[in-house]
A and B are shown apart, each in its own frame.
Chain A
Amino acid sequence: MSRHRIKDVDYDEDDFYDDDDAPADPEEQEFLQQCTTAVLHQLSAGQPSVTATKQEVQDALWHYYNDIEKSVNYLRGKREKEATKLQKSKIQSVPAYPAPPSTAHFSSADFFRDCPWLNVPSHRKADILIEPLYPRLGLLGGAPESGGKLSKLAALAAARKKREGEKAPSLPEASTPPTPKFEQSKITSLDLPGTSRSLRDRLAASGRSTPKASEGSGSLRRLANPSSSPPIPEQPTSGTRKPSVSEVSESMQKVVLEAKEEPELQQRVLTIRASPSTFASTIVGAATGPTAAEPSHLHSNSSDLLRIYGQDHAEPFDFAAPSPDDVVLNAQNTAKGMKSKSAASKSAAAKKGQSDLAGGMKDLSVEDKVTVKSKNLDVISEYKKSTRKRSANFVVIGHVDAGKSTLMGRLLADQGAIDQRTLDRYRREAEKIGKGSFALAWVLDQGSEERARGVTIDIATNQFETDKTAFTIVDAPGHRDFVPNMIAGASQADFAVLVIDSSVGNFESGLKGQTKEHALLVRSMGVQKIVVAVNKMDTVQWDHERFEEIEQQISAFLTTAGFQGSNISFVPCSGVLGDNISRRTNDPHASWYTGRTLIEELETSEPYTHALEKPLRMTIGDVFRGGVQNPLSISGRIDAGSLQMGDHILTMPSGETAIVRSLEVDNEPSDWAVAGQNVILHIANIDPIHLRSGDVVCRPSSPIPTITSFTAKVLAFEHLMPMQVDVHRGRLHVPGRISKLVASLDKASGAAIKKRPKIVGPGVVVRVVVEMDQAVPLEAPTRIVLRAGGSTVAAGLLE
């Protein structure tokens, strides 16, 4: 009710989209009519039977969101109260209704401009005291507009009341058919030309095109509405509480006259009577003043105290209804954003069914959170249906300056993944700083530092496609300081391309350096297949003997490292010139080589299977700002499981949840992604503080455990003793220490050879306990690498 008051006072002509007076759509109208009939029937059927006007009923329905029972309760209660009030008014001639808490300062003269009693002689006029500015219903400063919107609190209360109303016990039903005469008399009495009319009535009369409006402004409820209209006193029928129709109509006529005669009295009363507090009107119901609600428990025959709160505790809680939280959320949301939603549609929507409401509310939340509707795809079947090309990830490894980036730059240029113009630009810029030979490497070395120094620092991923396969290149740095980055790259790879500098001296130094370390690393990280690109063959004039020498040494080494002979292949090539990369060399010296070119060799790779069915695991490779629309993005390769848009994800070790707004697979937007794919997730609802590269993304339902200590079976590359090590797993690397050498193991059988060895030498398989300072998301079986002092000391499997 307070909403009405507020609105009435502040009504403005251009306020046409205001909730209450917006014409309801026909569907709602029809619904309203149905409800009205039902209420009227229930009222008349109830014991004691009560009558009410259609308008009154409709107003009540509006307030109770078309809840029939509640409306009936309300009207009944009001009648009872009127009956008791009448007793008093008989004696005192004091209107039973308190003054409205008005919200705005208004001119009383203006307000009562066309009231007949403006013409009363001045000696009869009382001083009209201007109503002080009462706080309007709602939080101070909370409601954005003066009238139309409920404050959050008020909306919350209304929502709660409505919910409780649903559970309220149905009233005892009895019968007295509604008397048209009563209605008639009432309307006439109110439509008397001299009758004072509330501003609201005026508006209703002029503005409404609804049947509600046509029914007239003279609803009983409007009388109850403490405007300037007097109440309708009923004859005290204390014994039976069955007011006869004639009595009522008589008394009404009388009161209307009284009202004409005694405006002063009424005004005086208005000033002395305290208006209902905001709290009270919120709690008891916005629709009625506190006085209207009182009788419901004070005077009703079945004085059920619980009904004060509109709740019957004997009634089992209906869990089908939205939970209190949902109601709160809905109310908050209503108060916040949806201005254009009309009250009528609101009530209709509320009536449409709880399931609808609850479902809608799920999408709403307290904060301005991003919500993405999941398409609920069956990702795995989608994946099987999809006609993607076979995809393969490979990592390019090798000693520093072996020509990895250049070789890959050449591959990309030849496959058209990079356009000639860009390449020309790189060439120009590279020549400008005197590093012309690095132009091709710049395709992958995008960092300013990398370009200035001519060395790859971090891994770079790039895609290209052949007729059969979509490849993802992971270009790893060769420098020993950046082996951690290389480990991150190798963890994303299905197979590896080992680039070897065939020029004199460089091959030998590389073999001692990262050629060896990288090869061991990729092997220990589970890579089976390795393609050896013997690069820079042009510098040794495609010397066949040199190639054979390298082939022999490398294959011997790779075999000892655990690669199968059939999985090792050698290609002599030249990255700078592009010979034997995607085209055969024209060099006459190289005529001895008749094998496959590098690209052909890459295409022989077998398709790789990934753990699609397992719980989601994805190691974050990078956290970055994906652009204006995607303020927070993470990239990485899905290790296991699948993912789709709208999924909720959990990042460990922070334990924070986020939602996937959208995702990209190989830089193409997609709705889903599966294990083995390189993805970029655009996420929301998380603070970037909680995201670091190396963290693991999983599902809240199956989170990855975080641990501070683990046992691992590792192959020692160097001497191991209790020592400080860095633990690497993909992008994740943390400091830790080997706290215990449990036992050295037999390589083949895995049986313990020596318990608690003091130290183990290179090549020994040993079970160690590693402790870390911080909790780290790791779970068995995971391949880990232990490094110390800038070199890899061990690699193995977490147990």
Chain B
Amino acid sequence: MRCIKNKIEHDGSGAVTLCPTEPEDMWHAYNLIRPGDLLRASAIRRVTTVQDTGSTSSARVHLNLLIRVKNLDFDPQSSQLHVSGQITNETPHTKIGQFHTLDLELNRNFTLEKEVGADGEGSGWDSIAIESLKDAVDEGGKRRAEAVAVVMQEGLAHICFIGQFQTILKQKIEMSVPRKRQGGGDHDKGMNKFFKITLETLLRQMEFNTSLTSGANNEAVRPVLLASPGFVAAGFQKYIQAEASTTTPGLRRLLPSLVVVHSASGYTNSLAEVLQSPAVKTILADTKYARETKLMDDFQEQLRKETNKATYGPREVEFAVEQGAVGRGGGVLIVSNRLFRSQDIAERKRWVGLVDRVRDVEGGEVRILSSDHESGKRLEGLGGIAALLTFPVVEPDFDSDAE
């Protein structure tokens, strides 16, 4: 995402103009835009006009609409963001107050304005928003570390795209592979078919061009992580090699970027293990998700030790912060960014306040985890918020109003 114009005032109001350049930017926009914000973007709207005689004519017109955001709809699979709200600027074709859904598009600028309301409506550009804006704006253009992971087991494969901020499950392949049995070669046949379908799907998802003559040959190939328990991934690699040397020589470009990793199962929740494996770490240097995964592992380790120096759950963490346990010298507040996407402004303010307090008052560290990553999913299971404490805190029973 490129920042075209930045006019954020000190009081937190102001507007930024951004230009999304890659699909993941839509996810950033999804985190930046909140209900109540003003969003200006180009739109195509079908306008129906009624003549005096009663005849109607409709036309599609290009408009530049300013809407007050009511709702956001994000499709992670196709990285599309639809923002709906009421139009607040007048155009020849629309009235103020009409509803419109803006579809943000790549390489089309949009302007996002946040207001600080006197009576607490609209939270403006708070610290979290500024931070996500920084995350979103890719200054040096160095954030290209992306990988494709194929997590598989016999008859099951998940093709995931691992980005900086998101892990997208692109496709799941499920097939019934006959088991081994006395004197039957069905198993090998079934596995071969499974590999074939998985490879086809993988190439399609990667938009990998297997023809030798195409000009795309010098394009860099993203690392492809093949992960499985047992020998399935290795078998798949062997299959790709065999294909490359026989039928589709275009696959040879892919071979150097294949990495076989061990995983405990073929489900996406074993991605953590994949991302932590040494082989992957060397390829994908120190990326955000690797750090996040490490953090979650540390947290769970701390929890396991039962030292009471780790806690999770909204009320428990708030209590620990109140006690001053998430402070200097090792206090880490881990928050899923889902909490900040809350429709309820008061809810968001609650978490922003907590984060600000830990960072500015207590001096602790705050890590905001992407809910679209594996580590974020683990955090979701714990209620979306967790903390590593500087000293053991025994919290009172919260189970009175559990749930």
Q: Which of A's residues lie within 8 Å of B, judged by CB? A: 446-450, 453, 457-458, 460, 462, 479, 481-482, 484, 621-625, 635, 688, 691-693, 719, 721-724, 726, 733, 735, 737-739, 755-756, 758-759, 761, 787-791
Do residues A756 and B402 form an inter-chain contact, with CB atoms below 8 A? yes
What residues of chain B lie closer than 8 Å to A450, measured between beta carbons? 180
Q: Tell which of B184, B187, B264 touches A789, judged by Cβ atoms closer than 8 Å.
A: B264
Within 8 A of A (CB), among B294-314: 300, 303-304, 306, 311-313
Count chain B CB atoms within 10 A of each CB in A622, A635, A723 and give the residue with the most. A622
What residues of chain A lie closer than 8 Å to B316, measured between beta carbons? 758
Rounded to whole angstroms, the CA-CA distance of A758 and B381 in the bound complex is 12
Do residues B179 and A621 form an inter-chain contact, with CB atoms below 8 A? yes
Do residues A759 and B303 form an inter-chain contact, with CB atoms below 8 A? yes
Do residues A756 and B176 form an inter-chain contact, with CB atoms below 8 A? no
Please give 7 more A-B residue pairs, beta carbons under 8 A apart, in addition to A446-B184, A692-B155, A755-B399.
Answer: A447-B187, A457-B180, A624-B181, A737-B269, A761-B304, A789-B273, A790-B270
Rounded to whole angstroms, the CA-CA distance of A333 and B180 in the bound complex is 41
Closest-CB distance, A608 to chain B (whole angstroms): 24
B178 within 8 A of A: yes
Count chain A CB atoms within 10 A of each CB in B229, B311, B312 and give the residue with the most. B229
Knowing A457-B230, A482-B229, the reply to whether A719 touches B182 (Cβ < 8 A) is no
Count chain A CB atoms within 10 A of each CB in B180, B378, B398, B402 and give the residue with the most. B180
Rounded to whole angstroms, the CA-CA distance of A623 and B269 in the bound complex is 26
Rounded to whole angstroms, the CA-CA distance of A448 and B235 in the bound complex is 12
Do residues A724 and B378 form an inter-chain contact, with CB atoms below 8 A? yes
Q: Which residue of A lies closest to B179 (CB)?
A: A622
Do residues B184 and A624 form an inter-chain contact, with CB atoms below 8 A? yes
Q: Tell which of A449, A688, A722, A758 touches B235, judged by Cβ atoms closer than 8 Å.
A: A449
Do residues A737 and B267 form an inter-chain contact, with CB atoms below 8 A? no
Q: Tell which of A482, A733, A761 touches B230, judged by Cβ atoms closer than 8 Å.
A: A482
Q: Which residue of A lies closest to B153 (CB)?
A: A484
Q: Tell which of B182, B270, B272, B399 touches A756, judged by Cβ atoms closer than 8 Å.
A: B399
Count chain A CB atoms within 10 A of each CB in B183, B265, B402 and give the residue with the most. B265
Do residues A622 and B178 form an inter-chain contact, with CB atoms below 8 A? yes
Listed by A's residue number, 22 A-B pairs whose Cβ atoms lie within 8 Å are A446-B183, A447-B180, A447-B187, A449-B231, A458-B179, A462-B182, A484-B229, A624-B181, A691-B176, A692-B176, A721-B303, A721-B382, A722-B381, A722-B382, A722-B383, A724-B269, A726-B265, A737-B381, A755-B397, A761-B304, A787-B265, A788-B264
How many chain B residues sit at the interface, stated as a range, is: 35 or more
Within 8 A of A (CB), among B237-293: 262, 264-265, 267-270, 272-273
Q: Which residue of B lies closest to A446 (CB)?
A: B180
Do residues B381 and A481 form an inter-chain contact, with CB atoms below 8 A? no
| Closest CB pairs A-B (n = 6) | A790-B264, A481-B229, A724-B269, A624-B178, A735-B267, A622-B179
Rounded to whole angstroms, the CA-CA distance of A726 and B151 in the bound complex is 15
Rounded to whole angstroms, the CA-CA distance of A269 and B325 in the bound complex is 109
B348 within 8 A of A: no
Do residues B267 and A457 form an inter-chain contact, with CB atoms below 8 A? no
B121 within 8 A of A: no
What residues of chain B lie closer than 8 Å to A458, measured between beta carbons? 179-180
What residues of chain B lie closer than 8 Å to A755, measured between beta carbons? 397, 399, 402
Rounded to whole angstroms, the CA-CA distance of A789 and B269 in the bound complex is 9
Do residues A759 and B231 form an inter-chain contact, with CB atoms below 8 A? no
Closest-CB distance, B36 to chain A (whole angstroms): 31
Rounded to whole angstroms, the CA-CA distance of A462 and B183 in the bound complex is 12
What residues of chain B lie closer than 8 Å to A691, measured between beta carbons? 176
Rounded to whole angstroms, the CA-CA distance of A457 and B265 in the bound complex is 14
Do residues A446 and B186 form an inter-chain contact, with CB atoms below 8 A? no
B170 within 8 A of A: no
B90 within 8 A of A: no
Do residues A479 and B382 form an inter-chain contact, with CB atoms below 8 A? no
Q: Which residue of A lies closest to B301 (CB)?
A: A719
Render B365-403 as a binary contact track against A, CB cut-off 8 A, 1 for contact: 000000000000110011100000000000001110010
Do residues A739 and B381 form an inter-chain contact, with CB atoms below 8 A? yes
What residues of chain B lie closer than 8 Å to A789, measured between beta carbons? 264, 270, 272-273
Q: Tell which of B265, B272, B303 touches A719, judged by Cβ atoms closer than 8 Å.
A: B303
What residues of chain B lie closer than 8 Å to A481, measured between beta carbons? 229-230, 262, 264
Closest-CB distance, A665 to chain B (whole angstroms): 16
Q: Which residue of B lies closest to A449 (CB)?
A: B231
What residues of chain B lie closer than 8 Å to A693, measured between beta carbons? 176, 179
What residues of chain A lie closer than 8 Å to B397, measured between beta carbons? 755
Closest-CB distance, A117 to chain B (whole angstroms): 72
Do residues A623 and B178 form an inter-chain contact, with CB atoms below 8 A? yes
What residues of chain B lie closer than 8 Å to A733, measured between beta carbons? 265
What residues of chain A lie closer than 8 Å to B176, measured between beta carbons? 623, 688, 691-693
Do residues A622 and B402 form an inter-chain contact, with CB atoms below 8 A? no
Do residues A446 and B382 form an inter-chain contact, with CB atoms below 8 A? no
Knowing A457-B230, A482-B229, the reply to whether A759 touches B304 (Cβ < 8 A) is yes
B188 within 8 A of A: yes
Knowing A449-B235, A458-B180, A719-B304, the reply to whether A735 touches B264 (Cβ < 8 A) is no
Rounded to whole angstroms, the CA-CA distance of A759 and B178 in the bound complex is 40
What residues of chain B lie closer than 8 Å to A448, measured between beta carbons? 188
Do residues A758 and B311 form an inter-chain contact, with CB atoms below 8 A? yes
Closest-CB distance, A695 to chain B (whole angstroms): 10
Do residues A758 and B181 form an inter-chain contact, with CB atoms below 8 A? no
What residues of chain A lie closer than 8 Å to B311, measured between beta carbons? 758
What residues of chain A lie closer than 8 Å to B300, measured between beta carbons? 721, 723
What residues of chain B lie closer than 8 Å to A726, measured between beta carbons? 265, 267, 269
Do residues A790 and B229 form an inter-chain contact, with CB atoms below 8 A? yes
Rounded to whole angstroms, the CA-CA distance of A755 and B398 in the bound complex is 10
Q: Which residue of A lies closest to B183 (CB)?
A: A446
Closest-CB distance, B233 to chain A (whole angstroms): 11
Rounded to whole angstroms, the CA-CA distance of A457 and B382 in the bound complex is 35
Do residues B312 and A622 form an inter-chain contact, with CB atoms below 8 A? no
What residues of chain A lie closer than 8 Å to B231, measured between beta carbons? 449, 453, 457
Do residues A723 and B378 form an inter-chain contact, with CB atoms below 8 A? yes
